[in-house]
Chains A and B, each alone.
Chain A
Amino acid sequence: MTTTREVVAADDATLIGRSLHEPEVFAVLFDRHAPLLHRYVTRRLGPGEAEDVVADTFLAAFQSRDGYDLGRPDARPWLYGIASNMIGKRRRAEAGLYRAYLRSGVHPGEIPGAQVEDGVNTLAVNRPLARALLRLKRADRDVLLLVAWAGLSYQEVAEALAIPQGTVASRLNRARNQIRRDLPEGERQ
């Protein structure tokens, strides 16, 4: 496939619509969103699982693309929703990552040395956070991290997880309260 300027500039919905007749166009959607989706999955599961989850997510998206609502120009909620399901099937890997972090203080996906300067402070905050994340219910954790790490809005999280916005708000509220309780005094913003 020749990736034309027109394809690169098109919004996600246009690409998905075109991919119904030209499947290869879907690869442009991959190139656009896979780098940050991979980062999100790596933060949640570690680098060992990320490639598989990203591949599974885009394959599942490709296979169900005829059901995509072409009125939604941004496909991120759709893609992150699918990825959330894939992550949900790997809960043990996610819990394992948090536990390993609690022991070692090292996330295997981080660039080594990136936070040397304030490493001690970071660890003082991140350890309780990892412990708190481990305790959250899966549904609450999904909502919280889609907002905090994927940067989705309430509306987008609702679309991603196919739940009402009110449910997003209540899960987020519950998760935040629980996190605050587990953080050291000075970090409860």
Chain B
Amino acid sequence: MNALTSMWQAVPAASQDDLAGARRRLLEGMHAPRPVLATSRRRVVTAPRLLIAAGVAAAAVTAPLVAGGGTPAYAVTENPDGTITVALNEMRDPEGLRADLAAAGVTADVSFLAPHTRCADSRFEGVDPSYGSRGHSEARLRKGVERWRSFEAAQVVDVREIRIRPEFIRPGETLVLEFRDNQDARRPWRLGAWLARTGSPVKPCAPVPDAG
């Protein structure tokens, strides 16, 4: 097989110039919305999510988004594996979404926020330090992303979809979801998701300006 091994061995390894276009495409692709793949869904823990963890607190305000003709504002689907998928196409009717989640067995509090706003802090007591974590170091947040139940309970899995995993929500806890209009069709909203401790009522969201 020596002959085969040396066949066309004068083809050189690529230089940085040869690879510049491919490298650029990779970097651009990292930040583009992921094409919908039927086969697998990825847990998305991206920088914006960390920012949200850093303390975008909650608010119950309807923030209008462009509605696709005939597309429902949201859809709640119970999956065979026990998880729940929420497709959020349009940020309206938070109460309807809350009721549908309740019907699926998840006690939730849903807020839709206008761009550049967040809910005022201290709406509830969280089950882990993810809520009210604005002062956390990035390193602590990263560790938390791996450990805190709030991050396990609800994850962004696609541009317009989140997956809720009820196995991480204990009886009496409330899943608090704060969606903020992102004014970007490729990433229409940002999600802040936390678990409120059993016995801790969740106050209504009072929107306050937020630079993020």
Is B185 positioned at the interface, with any CB of A under 8 Å from its CB? Answer: no
Cβ contacts under 8 Å, A31 to chain B:
23
Query: Is the Cβ of B26 less than 8 Å from the Cβ of A39?
Result: no
Cβ contacts under 8 Å, A179 to chain B:
1, 4
Cβ contacts under 8 Å, A109 to chain B:
8, 11
Binds A, one of B14-22, B63-71, B73-81: B14-22
Query: Is the Cβ of B30 less than 8 Å from the Cβ of A183?
Result: no
Query: Is the Cβ of B30 less than 8 Å from the Cβ of A26?
Result: yes
Binds B, one of A2-10, A17-25, A72-80, A156-164: A17-25
Is B38 positioned at the interface, with any CB of A under 8 Å from its CB? Answer: no
Is A16 positioned at the interface, with any CB of B under 8 Å from its CB? Answer: no
Tell me, in angstroms, the Cα distance from A51 to B4 when the chains sit together: 24
Tell me, in angstroms, the Cα distance from A109 to B8 when the chains sit together: 8
Interface residues on B, range: 35 or more
Is A115 positioned at the interface, with any CB of B under 8 Å from its CB? Answer: yes
Q: A24-B30, A55-B25 are in contact. Are A39 and B14 (CB under 8 A)?
A: yes
Binds A, one of B42-50, B171-179, B204-212: B42-50
Query: Is the Cβ of A54 less than 8 Å from the Cβ of B22?
Result: yes
Cβ contacts under 8 Å, B34 to chain A:
63
- A23 touches which of B15, B30, B142 (Cβ 8 Å): B30
Tell me, in angstroms, the Cα distance from A136 to B15 when the chains sit together: 31
- B3 touches which of A39, A144, A189 (Cβ 8 Å): A189
Q: A23-B30, A26-B30 are in contact. Are A114 and B22 (CB under 8 A)?
A: no
Which residue on chain B has the smallest CB distance to residue A115?
Answer: B10
- B19 touches which of A35, A107, A114 (Cβ 8 Å): A35
Query: Is the Cβ of A64 less than 8 Å from the Cβ of B10?
Result: no
Which residue on chain A has the smallest CB distance to residue B35?
Answer: A63
Is A110 positioned at the interface, with any CB of B under 8 Å from its CB? Answer: yes
Which residue on chain B has the smallest CB distance to residue A144?
Answer: B4
Main secondary structure of the interface of B (DSSP, over half): helix
Query: Is the Cβ of B40 less than 8 Å from the Cβ of A64?
Result: yes
Query: Is the Cβ of B22 less than 8 Å from the Cβ of A51?
Result: yes
Which residue on chain B has the smallest CB distance to residue A188?
Answer: B3
Q: Count chain B CB atoms within 10 A of each CB in A36, A38, A125 and give the residue with the most.
A: A38
Query: Is the Cβ of A129 less than 8 Å from the Cβ of B4?
Result: yes
Query: Is the Cβ of B40 less than 8 Å from the Cβ of A21?
Result: no
Is B103 positioned at the interface, with any CB of A under 8 Å from its CB? Answer: no
Q: What is the CB-to-nearest-CB distance from B109 to chain A, in angstroms, rounded to a whole number?
A: 27
Cβ contacts under 8 Å, B1 to chain A:
148, 176, 179, 189
Is A99 positioned at the interface, with any CB of B under 8 Å from its CB? Answer: no
Tell me, in angstroms, the Cα distance from A21 to B145 when the chains sit together: 9
Query: Is the Cβ of A39 less than 8 Å from the Cβ of B12?
Result: yes
Query: Is the Cβ of B10 less than 8 Å from the Cβ of A111?
Result: yes
User: Could you list 12 examples of A-B contacts with CB < 8 Å?
Assistant: A21-B45, A30-B19, A31-B23, A34-B19, A51-B21, A54-B19, A55-B21, A63-B42, A129-B4, A176-B1, A179-B1, A189-B2
Known: A55-B22, A59-B25. 7 other contacts (CB 8 A): A30-B19, A51-B22, A63-B34, A64-B42, A109-B11, A126-B7, A187-B3
Which 5 A-B pairs rank lowest in CB-CB distance, beginning with the nearest? A38-B14, A114-B10, A55-B22, A55-B25, A35-B13
Q: Write the residues of chain B forming the contact surface with A, with a CB cutoff of 8 angstroms.
A: 1-5, 7-8, 10-15, 18-19, 21-23, 25-27, 29-31, 34, 37, 40, 42-43, 45-47, 50, 142, 145
Q: Write the residues of chain A forming the contact surface with B, with a CB cutoff of 8 angstroms.
A: 20-21, 23-24, 26-27, 30-31, 34-36, 38-39, 42-43, 50-52, 54-55, 58-59, 62-64, 66-67, 107, 109-111, 114-115, 125-126, 129-130, 144, 148-149, 176, 179, 183, 187, 189
